[in-house]
Chain A
Amino acid sequence: MVRANRFIVILLGLQRLSYLIPATMTLGSAAYRTGALNTALVLATITANVATFVYVVRRGWFPQWLAWADVGWACLLTLLVSVNSAGAYDDSSVNWSGRMAQAAAALAGAAIPRIAFAALAVGALMATHLWADVLGGGSWPGCLDCLNGILWFAVIIGFAVRYLRRQGSELDRLTAERLAAQTKQAAAQARLEHFRVLHDTVLATLTVIGRGGLEHSPEQVRERCAREADLVRRLMVSDEQAPPRTLTQRLGQVVEEAQALGMRVHCHFNGASDGASDAPPGVAEALAGAAQEALNNVLLHSGVRTAWLTVAANGDGLLVRIVDRGCGFEPGAGGFGLSFSVAERMRAVGGTSRVSSAPGDGTCVELSWPA
């Protein structure tokens, strides 16, 4: 986009330069009715053009008003120079206004975004030119030649600008896409790297310590813990982005709370990683709340402190199960209050719940969304 604009600005600048150089040759020429007027017009045109291009080069592109101003100035030149040059018609070295009208048409084609307006500007240039020629009693071949130039410069430059910009923005888009893909890949790579490092070190150490049986080598354990605490600290510094709250994260929080109460919860969210991240916030909240309720019941009534929490895909929906291998109960015997509050939460978001249990055989609370 920027490159396309710069290219067109240079092109239009060179076109004007090629027209202004011959115009300066007319300074001091005796061919005009009023030499001073011609001198004034040439100098004013050169000054305006230099100012314009300095402004545009700084800014990057022509503002639309500048194109209209240029068209207006070209129309004025067409009338004044044609009348002043008294019988020296278009295309001659004397009447330099025809060339300037062509340059203005090219600028209008480039810098007026709406094609209808650009056409209006070009029409104004052509009409003025025709009028000046009629006033001056000009020759038709020369007049048509100049009109032809005005029309086609506008068309060619207008087309070139739009084409280059389309290509440019396409190129910009592809570049941005490639950059985004590279960034994403790098992030995934970094995650994978973290993961691998954690697997080989912290996870292995914690697992072994968690299982016990290391009482005979406290020094070894202490050393390894210290080393890995350092590692985790380093990883935390390099990983600053916090992802949004998904069902998985909400459930993770519920599990943490249950663990804080002394429970052991085996979690498996692998079954529905996509669905779990896409669940609407209200649904995630309801599922997490119901899961918390179910885990509380395991703690209060099952007689065991171990539970399983799994999330699985269920068609397009989600299936969350909270399972224990505790004492169970006779479904329908009541007294739990479990079915009611869990079912109520699920119904509110268009889901259902089901409790299956038998005395001595554990309990499963199943949450499905949608119903």
Chain B
Amino acid sequence: MAGLNAGVINLAVVDDDRMLLDGLASWLAGDPGLRLAGTYGGVEELLADRTPADVVLLDLVLRDGTDAADNVTRLVEAGLRVLVISVWLNLPQVAATFAAGARGYLTKDHDLPELASAVRTVASGGTVYSPELALACLNDTRPQRPRLSTREREVLLAYASGMTLNAAARHVGVRPETAKTYLDRVKAKYQAVGRPTYTKDQLAQRVREDGMSPVIGDMP
């Protein structure tokens, strides 16, 4: 299959906006390094198709009413790397998808070069820390959110303000490698709370610390 050529990234897109899918297809035609392997209206459809995809672009709000974090979990369990996209930034949902193992989040208004660069980062196993994702982590109010250190929050805030890694490091007063370490720690903390091994006891303690009502019956 031509799509499995070395250096070409296979992209699967789960989105129910026909016009976006059309636009994306004609766009990707202009980038020889990216190949649109398939477009799907829902996660179920993609999983049934068994198309080899290096990166899945997943719309945060699907009209089939499925939960964004659940969708990410299912794709990640199938061994796929997920980049979440949406037209409108819904902070708690974005944070939940990050905890569920998404490799990043972008709003759909980014230019093709930005999207392409994000896809390449994800394909090579990296995480895309967009300002929007940083903002979602900073403003996460879900009871199961991880506890972030002051430094981690400072770097996230710099990121959320649109700074690059270098600029964020300079603004906070650390070296770029250190800033990167903080971001990696944020990701590790998020994925730790997103894992099903997160016990009820840990969660209950977290809830107590936050002074929130201890309703944890439906938590994993």
Q: Interface of A with B (CB < 8 Å)?
A: 199-200, 203-205, 207-208, 210-217, 220-221, 224, 266, 268, 270-271, 307-308, 310, 312, 319, 321, 323-325, 356, 358, 361-362, 364, 366
Chain B residue at minimum C-beta to C-beta distance from A271 = B139
CB-defined contacts of B89 to chain A, threshold 8 Å: 268, 270
> How many whole Å from B176's CB to the nearest CB in chain A?
10
Name A's interface SS: mixed
Kindly supply a per-residue 1/0 record for chain B positions 103-116, scoring 1 wherever the CB is within 8 Å of any chain A CB and 0 otherwise. 00001111110000
Set of chain A residues within 8 Å of B109, measured between Cβ atoms: 207, 210-211
Bound complex: CA A321 to CA B157 (Å): 10
A207 partner residues in chain B, CB cutoff 8 A: 20, 87, 107-109
Mark contacts of B196-207 with chain A using CB atoms, 8 A cut-off: 1 yes-contact digit, 0 otherwise: 000000000000
Give the residue among B89, B108, B167 with the most A Cβ atoms within 10 A: B167
Query: 1/0 per residue B84-128: CB within 8 Å of A?
Result: 000111010000000000000001111110000000000000000
Chain A residue numbers with a CB within 8 Å of B167 are: 323, 325, 356, 358, 361-362, 364
Would B27 and A204 count as touching, CB distance under 8 A? no
Q: Which residues of B contact A199 (CB under 8 A)?
A: 61, 87-88
Cross-chain contact A310 with B162 (CB below 8 angstroms): yes
Contact yes or no, A214 B26, CB < 8 A: yes
A200-B63, A270-B91, A319-B157 known; 14 new pairs, CB 8 Å cut-off, are: A199-B87, A207-B87, A207-B109, A213-B26, A214-B23, A215-B26, A266-B131, A308-B162, A310-B160, A312-B161, A356-B170, A361-B167, A362-B164, A364-B167
Which residues in B have their C-beta under 8 angstroms from that of A362? Answer: 163-164, 166-167
Asked if A268 and B135 make an inter-chain contact with CB atoms under 8 angstroms apart, the answer reads: yes
B24 in the interface, Cβ–Cβ < 8 Å? yes
Chain B residues, Cβ within 8 Å of A325: 162-164, 167
Pick the residue among A200, A203, A211, A266 that contacts B162 (CB under 8 A).
Answer: A266
Name the A residues within 8 Å of B138 (CB-CB).
271, 312
Q: Mark B49-74, 1 if CB is under 8 A from A, else 0.
A: 00000000000010100000000000
- Please tell me if the beta carbons of A323 and B111 are within 8 angstroms of each other in the complex: no
Q: How far is the CB of A350 from chain B (nearest CB, A)?
A: 22
27 contacts between A and B (CB under 8 A): A199-B61, A203-B88, A204-B20, A207-B107, A208-B19, A208-B108, A211-B108, A211-B111, A211-B112, A212-B23, A214-B26, A220-B19, A220-B22, A270-B139, A271-B138, A271-B160, A308-B131, A310-B161, A312-B138, A321-B161, A323-B162, A323-B163, A324-B162, A356-B167, A358-B167, A361-B167, A364-B163
B184 part of interface (Cβ distance < 8 Å) = no
